[in-house]
A and B are shown apart, each in its own frame.
Chain A
Amino acid sequence: MATREEITSGLAEILEEVAGVNPDDVAEGKSFTDDLDVDSLSMVEVVVAAEEKFGVKIPDNEVQNLKTVGDAVSYIEANH
């Protein structure tokens, strides 16, 4: 069972790989689009990579609810 910190750092690795985000900028309160400049298609790539990394299913209709890094961490924590 991964901790919130471990999930956050896993997401930071994905964000760096997919969208070139500096891992130091990734924190639970950050918005994917407004703070980290992740566009809507990169967000899909992040979600697909997160599914593989954490063994979760993140359906299309759930993606729009994941506004911040913290939203994604909570979803992964609750569903993996």
Chain B
Amino acid sequence: MTAGTRILAMGHYQPSRIVTNDDLAATIDTNDEWIKSRVGISERRVADSESVADMATFAAEKALAASGLTAADIDLVTVATCSSIDRCPNVATRVAARLGINAPAAYDLNTACSGFSYALGTADHAIRAGASRNALVIGAEKLSDVTDWTNRTTAVLFGDGAGAAIVTGVADGEQPGIGPVLWGSAPDKGDALRIEGWQPYIEQDGQTVFRWATTALAPFALETCEKAGIKPSELAAFVPHQANTRIIDGIVKRLGLGPEVVVAKDIVHSGNTSAASVPLALSKLIESGEVASGAPVLLFGFGGGLTYAGQVIRCP
């Protein structure tokens, strides 16, 4: 049992193939200016042969190597994803098998784009309850498998990738590095974003989702900061789900964040990668050295089901 947990290290993986807006404009009726002004995306990464489990494994390998722990230390693996085509076995056990993690609790969690913050919250709870000691928490998506590449309203939005965190307990007397999770959903609007049936494509009521995201979420993000005992102005960085730069700008404005707070805009080069977007963007911020170790960072995911979750973490 431990009083709190922290992120030891992060890792990420993106497929090497870059698909630019001009590439998309060659096959569907769209253009670079239109996409940039509506959603802020310049390019996205699209997997060829890699599966969700492959990308999750590659990201996890990097996080594990950076953490100083070994596979033998990990006893919980949780993967946030909504795009794994295989229903059984789950992605978590496949990742564990590939990494030689022998007998972990292993499960997938689906709250679509908010998944990483949900998974980070459940890992924090499991460790604090004494059910686990060290967790591997992953967000991984292959949205290209569920994207209708002939539909110009959705094909421009999505990308593939994965991000992973190693989470462990803090020593007695040490400050926790993962703040309390704030989580919830708006089930009455849940059908506004769908991946339904057996050979599905992502569909969404864009205006409903956009309106919810730009109006309902900022108060929850503020509440997340309150739960962690921190003012938004004290944040070093804000890493929201990467759905649309106009949504990100809208939330930043309502939170009153000044230019001194680093705001993740990985969407420009990665598109919307659903549950992978927050850990991917956070891992890149850490890798680039833009956020100092120990600095407070607000993570906030939101999306399908109109679920949301966030927490303030201390940068590993």
Assess the A44–B38 pair: CB atoms within 8 A: no
Contacts of A39 in B (CB 8 A): 37-38
Is B175 part of the binding interface, using a Cβ–Cβ cutoff of 8 Å? no
Does B211 contact A60, Cβ atoms closer than 8 Å? yes
Give every chain A residue within 8 A of B246 (Cβ-Cβ): 41
Docked Cα-Cα span, A41 to B215, in Å, equals 13
Given contacts A39-B38, A41-B38, A41-B246, contact A48 B214 (CB under 8 A): yes
Contact of A60 with B214 at beta-carbon distance under 8 Å, contacts A39-B38, A41-B38 already known: no
Question: Which residues from 206 to 241 on chain B have a C-beta closer than 8 Å to any C-beta of chain A?
Answer: 206-208, 210-211, 214-215
Task: Count residues on chain B whose CB falls below 8 Å from chain A CBs.
Answer: 13
Most A C-beta atoms less than 10 A away, residue of B205, B210, B214: B210
A50 shortest CB reach to chain B, Å: 12
In the assembled complex, the CB of B20 is this many whole angstroms from the nearest CB of chain A, namely 21
- Does A40 touch B at the CB level, under 8 Å? yes
State in angstroms the CA–CA spacing of A57 and B215 once bound together: 14
Interface assignment of A63: CB less than 8 Å from any CB of chain B: yes
Q: How far is the CA of A3 from the CA of B38 in the complex (A)?
A: 34
**Complex contact B208–A60 (CB within 8 A):** yes
Contacting pair A60 B38 (CB below 8 A): no
Interface pair A41/B206, CB less than 8 Å apart: yes
Please tell me which one of the listed residues B207, B214, B244, B250 contacts residue A63 in the complex, with CB atoms under 8 A apart.
B207
Partner of B206, one of A40, A45, A47, A48: A40
A26 interface residue (CB < 8 Å to B): no
Inter-chain CB contacts under 8 Å: number? 27
Contacts of A47 in B (CB 8 A): 211
Contact (Cβ within 8 A) B207 A48: no
Of all chain A residues, the one with the shortest Cβ separation from B212 is A60
Tell me, yes or no, whether A15 is within 8 Å of chain B by CB.
no
Nearest-neighbour CB distance to chain B for A57, whole angstroms, equals 12
The reply to whether the CB of A43 lies closer than 8 angstroms to some CB of chain B is: yes
- On chain B, the residues within 8 Å of A45 by CB distance are 214, 250
Binary B-proximity of A6-47 (CB < 8 A = 1, otherwise 0): 000000000000000000000000000000000111011101
The docked-state distance in angstroms from the alpha carbon of A63 to that of B206 is 12
Complex: A48 Cα to B215 Cα, angstroms: 8
Which of B37, B207, B208, B246 has most chain A Cβ within 10 Å?
A: B207
Residues of B with C-beta under 8 A to A40: 206-207
Q: How far is the CA of A60 from the CA of B206 in the complex (A)?
A: 11
**Closest chain A residue, CB of each to CB of B250:** A45
What's the least CB distance linking A66 to chain B, in Å? Answer: 11
CB distance from A48 to the nearest CB of B (A): 6
Which residue of chain B lies nearest to A47 when distances are taken between CB atoms in the complex? B211
Residues of A near B211 (CB, < 8 A) are 44, 47-48, 60
Closest Cβ neighbor of A48 among chain B residues: B215
CA distance A45 to B213 in the complex (A): 11
A-side contacts of B207, CB under 8 Å: 40-41, 43-44, 60, 63-64
Given A39-B37, A44-B207, A64-B207, 19 other A-B contacts at CB below 8 A?
Answer: A39-B38, A40-B206, A40-B207, A41-B38, A41-B206, A41-B207, A41-B210, A41-B244, A41-B246, A43-B207, A44-B214, A47-B211, A48-B211, A48-B214, A48-B215, A60-B207, A60-B208, A60-B211, A63-B207
